[in-house]
Amino acid sequence: MTDYSLPAPAIEPAELVWRDGLPESARFGDVYFSRENGLEETRYVFLSHNGLPDRFRNVPPRGAFVIAETGFGTGLNFLAAWQAWRECRPDNGSVLHFVSAERYPLTRDDLKRALDLWPELAPLARELLTSYPPLVRGTHRLVLDGGRVRLTLYLGDVMDAWESLSFAADAWFLDGFAPALNPDMWLDNAIALIRRHSKPGTTLATFTAVGKIRRALEREGFEMRKTPGYGRKRDMIAGVMQVNAPATSPPDSGTVAVIGAGIAGTLLARNLASRGIAVTLIDAAEDAGAAASGNLQGAMYVKLGVEFNVQTELALSALIFSQRAYAPYQGTLWHPTGLLQLAWNPQEQDRQARFIDRNRYPEELLYPVDAATASELTGTPVSAGGLWFPNNGWLSPAGVCRELASHALIRCRFGTRIERLVPCNGKWHLSSRNGADIVVDNVVIAAGHRTPELIPLKGEYRFKSIRGQVTEVPEALMRAPKAVICGQKYLNPSHNGVAVTGATFDLHNTDPAVTQEANRENLDQLSAMLPDLFPDEAHQGEFEGRVGFRCTTHDYQPVAGMMQDCSGQSLEGVYLLTGLGSKGLTYAPLLAEYVADRITGQPACLPASLASSVRPDRMCRRRSD
Q: Contact between 32 and ligand SAM (CB under 6 A)?
A: yes
Spell 322-347 as b/e; 16+ CB within 10 A means b: bbbbbeebeeebbbbbbbbbbbbeee
- What is the secondary structure of 183-248 as a DSSP string? GGGG-HHHHHHHHHT--TT-EEEES---HHHHHHHHHTTEEEEEEE-STT--EEEEEEE-S--S--
If we measure between CA atoms, which residue out of 44, 22, 109, 118 comes closest to residue 76? 118
- For ligand SAM, which is the closer residue by CB, 175 or 597? 175
Pick one of 24, 41, 102, 472: the residue that binds ligand SAM (CB under 6 A): 102
Q: Contact between 185 and ligand SAM (CB under 6 A)?
A: yes
Size of the chain, expressed as the number of residues it contains: 625
Q: Contact between 493 and ligand SAM (CB under 6 A)?
A: no
Q: Which stretch binds ligand SAM (CB under 6 A): 66-74, 91-99, 413-421, 526-534?
A: 66-74
Shortest spacing between CB 51 and ligand SAM, in angstroms: 19
Shortest spacing between CB 104 and ligand SAM, in angstroms: 4
Cα–Cα distance measured from residue 155 to residue 132, given in angstroms and rounded to the nearest whole number: 12
Q: Which stretch binds ligand SAM (CB under 6 A): 2-10, 98-106, 371-379, 594-602?
A: 98-106
Q: Contact between 103 and ligand SAM (CB under 6 A)?
A: yes
Shortest spacing between CB 209 and ligand SAM, in angstroms: 16
Cβ burial, residue 427 (10 Å; 0-12/13-18/19+): middle
Cα–Cα distance measured from residue 384 to residue 529, given in angstroms and rounded to the nearest whole number: 10
Q: Which stretch binds ligand SAM (CB under 6 A): 74-82, 537-545, 562-570, 609-617?
A: 74-82
Contact by Cβ (8 Å): 470, 501? yes
If we measure between CA atoms, which residue out of 100, 76, 73 comes closest to residue 14? 73
Q: Contact between 158 and ligand SAM (CB under 6 A)?
A: yes
- For ligand SAM, which is the closer residue by CB, 103 or 140? 103
Pick one of 64, 66, 99, 101: the residue that binds ligand SAM (CB under 6 A): 101
Q: Contact between 176 and ligand SAM (CB under 6 A)?
A: yes
If we measure between CA atoms, which residue out of 553, 548, 575 comes closest to residue 455? 575
Cα–Cα distance measured from residue 198 to residue 7, given in angstroms and rounded to the nearest whole number: 34
- For ligand SAM, which is the closer residue by CB, 29 or 123? 29
Helix (H, G, I), strand (E, B) or coil at 357: helix
Pick one of 182, 266, 293, 337: the residue that binds ligand SAM (CB under 6 A): 182
DSSP letter, residue 437: -
- For ligand SAM, which is the closer residue by CB, 188 or 376? 188
- For ligand SAM, which is the closer residue by CB, 127 or 565? 127
Shortest spacing between CB 188 and ligand SAM, in angstroms: 14
Shortest spacing between CB 184 and ligand SAM, in angstroms: 5
Pick one of 4, 56, 104, 394: the residue that binds ligand SAM (CB under 6 A): 104
Site for ligand SAM in 114-143 (CB under 6 A): none
| Residues paired with 499 in a beta bridge | 473
Shortest spacing between CB 82 and ligand SAM, in angstroms: 12
Q: Count Cβ atoms below 10 Å from residue 464 Cβ, excluding itself.
A: 15
Omega before 603 within 30 of 0, i.e. cis: no
Give the angle 552-557-561 at the CA atoms, nearest 5°: 95
Pick one of 10, 50, 52, 77: the residue that binds ligand SAM (CB under 6 A): 77
Q: Contact between 74 and ligand SAM (CB under 6 A)?
A: yes
Pick one of 56, 82, 172, 177: the residue that binds ligand SAM (CB under 6 A): 177
Which residues 6+ apart lie within 8 Å of 221 measured at CB?
195, 198, 241, 242, 243, 245
List residues binding ligand SAM (CB under 6 A).
14, 32-33, 69, 71-77, 101-104, 157-158, 175-177, 182, 184-185
